[in-house]
Structure 1
Amino acid sequence: MRIGVILAVITVFSCSLAGYGITDSATYVGSEACEECHEVEYNNYKKFSKKAHSSKSVKIMASDLDADELKECFTCHATGYGKPGGFVSFEQTPHLADAGCEVCHGPGSLHAEDGDPELIKRKMTIEECEVCHNAERVNNFNYKPLIFGGAH
C-alpha cells in the first residue's frame, strides 16, 4: 500500500506540473524564498497553517518508526522529498523539513529567480490535495483535513 501512495504522489505531481510551464529543471528552494514577493501569504502560512510545523510531528514519531515508515511520512510532511533539490534530512535540508509552499505549488527555483507566474503552479485541484489528505490517512490518524485551510 505504501508504494501505491508514493506512486500516486509522483503521478499526480508529475502530471499536474506539466500543464503549468514547470520544467524538470526547477528545484525546491523553501518557503522563505516566497516571502519577499508573497509576504501576506507567507505570514498566513507561518501563523495559521499546521503544514508550517509538520516536521515537529515527524520528529516526535521518528523513534517509533522504521526507515520505510519514516520515508512515507516525509512524502507528505516535508517539501519535495525524493525529488531534485527536495528534502533529504533534517540536517542537510532543514529549510525543507516542513510541508511548505512548494508542496502544493511545485518547485519554485525558476519562479523565484525571475518572478514569471507561468513558472509556478497557481491553481490546485482537490485530487492533488487528496494525495496526502485521503480517507486512509484520516482513518489511521483520526483527523479531519482542512483541504482549503492552508495559507490562502
Structure 2
Amino acid sequence: MVRWRARFKALLAAGLCACAIGMATAPAAAADEPSGTYVGSKVCMDCHPKQYESFSRYSKKSHSSQSVKIMAPKLTPEELASCFACHTTGYGKPGGFVSFEKTPEMADAGCEVCHGPGAAHADAGGDPKLIQAKLAMRQCEGCHSAERVRTFNFKPMLFAGAH
C-alpha cells in the first residue's frame, strides 16, 4: 500500500493527475466523444446483457472504486478528485459520479467511460449514432497515459474484458 501512495505522489509531483494541480475535474474528452448525460452501466444491461455480464465479471474497471475506497482515508480532497476522474463514471459531468453516497451506481468506471454518455442512445432505442461504438486506443490515454503505464503498469486493454 505504501508503494502505491508513493507512486501516486510521484504522479502528482510530475503534474500527471490534472485534478490535483487544478487543471480539470476529469480527463479531457476525446474530440469524438459524444456529449450528453450519463445513465450508468445498469441501463446498458437491458439491451446488452452479454456484454454487461462479461464486463461485470472480467473487467477491472467494473470494480475500480474499490481501490479508491481503500486509499481515500489517506488522500487529500485534491488527490481524491484526481482518482475519481479515472476510477468512476462521468465525474464532474451531467449525470456522472458525485460521491459514493449520492451516486453509487456511477462509482466504478463503467460502460460510459469508454463509450461516452448513454442517455441519448438509450432514449432513442439504442441508436448507434448516439454512442461511441467503435473505440480507438487514443481514447484510453486520458487515464492510461504513458507515465501511468510505466508507474502503475496500468495498460489499457481496448476491450477490457467486455466484448
**Coarse TM-score class (shorter-chain normalised):** 0.7 to 0.9
The Cα offsets for residues 74-127 of structure 1, whole Å up to 9 and x where unpaired, read as: 111000001111100000100000000000000001111122111111111111
Secondary structure (helix, strand or coil) at the match of 2:27 reads: helix
Match of 1:66 in 2: 76
Match of 1:132 in 2: 143
Is 1:133–1:147's contact at 8 Å kept on the other side of the alignment? Answer: no
Task: Tell me whether 127-136 or 66-75 shows the greater mean CA deviation.
Answer: 127-136
Letter aligned with residue 130 of structure 2: L
Q: In the alignment, is residue 78 of structure 1 matched against residue 96 of structure 2?
A: no
Match of 2:43 in 1: 33
The Cα offsets for residues 55-91 of structure 1, whole Å up to 9 and x where unpaired, read as: 0000000011100110000111000001111100000
- Which of 117, 125, 134 matches 1:107? 117
Match of 1:16 in 2: 32
Is 2:89–2:107's contact at 8 Å kept on the other side of the alignment? Answer: yes
Secondary structure (helix, strand or coil) at the match of 2:123 reads: helix
Letter aligned with residue 106 of structure 1: G
Q: TM-score, normalization: structure 2? A: 0.81
The total of aligned residue pairs comes to: 143
CA shift for structure 1 position 137: 1.5
Letter aligned with residue 32 of structure 1: K
The Cα offsets for residues 27-48 of structure 1, whole Å up to 9 and x where unpaired, read as: 1110000001101100000000
- Which of 49, 53, 58 matches 1:48? 58
Unaligned runs of 5+ in 2: 1-14
Give me the identity figure in percent: 52
Task: Give the ranges of 4+ consecutive aligned residues of structure 1 lying more than 3 Å apart after TM superposition.
Answer: 4-8
Is 1:6–1:72's contact at 8 Å kept on the other side of the alignment? Answer: no
- Aligned equivalents of 2:138 and 2:85: distance in 1? 16
